[in-house]
Amino acid sequence: MSKHILRAVALTAALLPATWAVAAPLSLDQAVDLAVQRSQMARSARASAVSAAEMARAAGQQPDPMLTFGIDNLPATGGSRFSTNAEDMTMKRIGMSQEWVSADKRSAREAVSNAMRRREAVMEGVAAADARMQTAMAFIEAYYAGEALKLTALNEKHAREELEAGKGRLATVSGSSAEVLALSSALGSAEDESADVRQQHGASAVNLQRWTGTPADELAQPQLATIPTQDAFVASHPLVVAKQRDIEVARQEVEVARLNRKPNWTYEVSYGQRQGRPDLVSFGVSIPLPITPDARQDRETAAKLALVDKAEADAEEARRAAAGEYAALTSDARRLQDRIQRFRASVIEPVKQRTAATLAAYRSNQASLVMLFEARHAEVEAQRKVLNLQRDLAKAQAQLVFKPISQGAAQ
């Protein structure tokens, strides 16, 4: 075997996996993963979490010391005004001051920052969950729009076939120009219907690409995970988890306000240099005096306690809303399943039997082509109605599956 043939075989073998990867239908899980990877909202929330983590590290530190310097007793009048060497009372001074924050206060401030960090970390999970859900909804819309396009294309094919048959029957006794005109009008309606569905499919495909970042020529049928229980849905609902983190932050801020009743002392030391006289060293302590704590410090603590009560009320309202949302979605899903089963039994089967009976009647010259097309069209329309019900069912189930955030982000 020549080197050229071997090289061609090797190149073909190398390209086959890539070809298969491109041709393989895009699955719902793959689309969701792509959306989370490129979500800018998740990136924004991730940056906020990093920022909060850095702030938490700084919250437990002492304030920076203050450098002070100046000149005391500088002459302001006379021949030696503004001279630093003329008067022995003039002193050049340099010193340091430090506000001292107790370990309890620094620990409480650090606890607040850590609570904020955990809240921001949860928001990253919330952003990722929103990206997953929005992508799932777009995927379902695009998939079922593609399935509807296949049905309208089939209806258009039937109309074209029957029109050609009608034109062929014009030369026979059974043919008529009225039948051909009716079939021609039916073909025009079928083509317009296909164009309308094709436009909807194009819009849904563009919306899906907005989330995944890549065009998908073919989509696999959506496969959804097991629907969570109500307790799991409520516990992992984005709004509920975020409100729980708000409660934690508010409670930590109450502790900071309580400790602020104890003022921070500031220590000072300075060194003074004088001309012709001994240098001086000064020490001092500054102590704030909370004269009316009931009018200020206690009010701050009461305000923080009220915010805790507000956060708890918001969290309870969020839990009730999540429970109501779960009940509504599960009810919709159950009713849609019943409608699909009932529609298949009471509509799909009869229209299929009608099509078969009309086709048999047409072959025995007991039915016209228009009647055959109408029977086929009714069957296609019934199948499209089932597709719409299946789409709505999949969207309700997708909200139940993808609305909650992952358990790791909820911790």
Domain boundaries, the chain: 37-75+114-410
pLDDT band at 6 (very low <50, low <70, confident <90, very high): very low
Span 157-185, average pLDDT = 72
pLDDT of residue 176 exceeding 60, the answer is: yes
| pLDDT of 4 | 44
User: pLDDT band at residue 83, thresholds of 50, 70 and 90?
Assistant: confident
Higher pLDDT, 382 or 16: 382
- Report the C-alpha gap between 105 and 103 in whole angstroms: 5
331 versus 81: the higher-pLDDT residue is 331
Determine the Cα–Cα distance for residues 399 and 370; give it in Å rounded to an integer.
43
Measured CA angle at 130 (ends 127, 135), to 5 deg? 130
Q: For domain 37-75+114-410, give the CATH superfamily.
A: Outer membrane efflux proteins (OEP) (1.20.1600.10)
Is a pLDDT exceeding 60 seen at residue 84? yes
Both tokens assigned to 256: 């900071």
Res 171 pLDDT > 80: no
CB 408 within 8 A of CB 122: no
Decide if pLDDT at 10 tops 60.
no
**Long-range CB contacts (< 8 A, 24+ apart) of 263-267?**
263/287, 263/288, 263/289, 263/290, 264/99, 264/100, 264/101, 264/102, 264/105, 264/288, 265/99, 265/100, 266/97, 266/98, 266/99, 266/100, 267/97, 267/98, 267/100
Amino acid at 371: M
What mean pLDDT comes out for the span 145-159? 86
Confidence of residue 366 (pLDDT cuts 50, 70, 90): confident
**Contact in structure between 45 and 127 (CB atoms under 8 Å):** yes
Rounded to whole angstroms, the Cα distance separating 46 from 389 reads 38
Output DSSP code: residue 295.
Answer: T
- How would residue 214 be classed by pLDDT, with cut points 50, 70 and 90? confident
Residue 379: name the closest of 352, 360, 353 by CA: 352
Dihedral over alpha carbons 54, 56, 57, 63 (to 10 degrees) = 110
- Given a cut of 80, is residue 163 above it in pLDDT? no
Taking the C-alpha atoms of residue 396 and residue 358, their distance in angstroms, rounded to an integer, is 38
Cα–Cα distance list, 214 to 205, 210, 217, 356 (Å): 10, 8, 10, 43
Higher-confidence residue: 238 or 373? 238
The span from the CA of 154 to the CA of 242, in Å, is 49
pTM: predicted TM-score of the whole model, two decimal places: 0.77
Supply angle C-alpha 388, 392, 398, rounded to 5: 140
On the 0-12 / 13-18 / 19+ scale of CB atoms within 10 A, 119 is: buried
* Per-residue pLDDT band at 408 (split at 50, 70, 90): very low
Residue identified by tokens 């309870």 is 316
